[in-house]
Amino acid sequence: MINILPPDLRCNICKNSEVIIDTLTGSYVCKNCGTVIEKKSIDFGREWRIFFEDKNQKARTGAPITFALHDKGVGSEIAENSFNTLQKRTKILTSEERRLYTSFEILDRISSQYNIPKEVIETCAILYRKVTKNSLIKGKSIKGTLGVTLYFAYKIHDFPITIKEITDMLKIDKKEISKCYSLVLEIIKNEKDLISKIKLNNPKIYIEKIAKALNLDYKIETLAIKILDAAMKTGIASGKSPKSLASAAVYLACIMTNNKKTQKEIANYTQISEVTLRNRCKELIKRLDVEIIL
Kindly report, residue by residue over 221-273, the tens digit of the pLDDT. Answer: 999 999 988 888 887 776 678 889 999 999 999 999 998 889 999 999 888 89
In a domain, 7, yes or no: no
The 10 Å CB-count burial string (b at 16+, else e) for 253-292 is bbeeeeeebebeebbeebebeeebbeebbebbbebeeeee
- Residue 77 covered by a domain: no
Residue 281 or 53, more confident: 281
What does the pLDDT average to over 129-155?
87
Distance CA 51, CA 48 (A): 10
Domain total in the chain:
2
C-alpha 239 chain-centroid distance: 28
pTM score, two decimals? 0.51
Please say which residue of 161, 195, 229 terminates a domain.
195
pLDDT single digits (tens) 87-138: 555 555 677 788 888 899 999 999 989 999 999 999 999 999 988 888 777 7
Residues 265 and 238 in one domain: yes
Pair 100, 190 in one domain: yes
- The range of the structural domain enclosing residue 156 comes to 95-195
Burial class for 240, CB neighbours closer than 10 Å (0-12, 13-18, 19+): middle
The pLDDT of residue 53: 45
> For residue 89, is it within any domain?
no
74: confidence class by pLDDT, cuts 50, 70, 90: very low
Same domain (yes/no): 185, 244: no
241 and 183 in a single domain? The answer is: no
Q: The domain spanning residue 109 has which CATH number?
A: 1.10.472.10
Whether 163 and 222 share a structural domain: no
How far is 201 from 280, CA to CA, in rounded Å? Answer: 17
Domain boundary among 195, 216, 239: 195
113 within some domain: yes
**Could you tell me if residue 75 is inside a domain?**
no
Condensed to tens digits (0 to 9), the pLDDT of residues 32-52 reads 777 777 765 455 445 545 444
Q: List C-alpha distances in Å: 193 to 185, 190, 196, 202.
A: 14, 9, 6, 21
Asked if residue 5 is part of any domain, the answer here is: no
Residues 224 and 191 in one domain: no
Chain CA centroid to CA 57, Å: 27
Residues 188 and 217 in one domain: no
Same domain, 131 and 184: yes
**Is residue 216 domain-shared with residue 147, that is, in the same domain?**
no
Do 115 and 172 reside in the same domain of the chain?
yes
| Within-domain flag for 68 | no
Is 130 part of any domain?
A: yes
Residue 209: what pLDDT?
A: 86
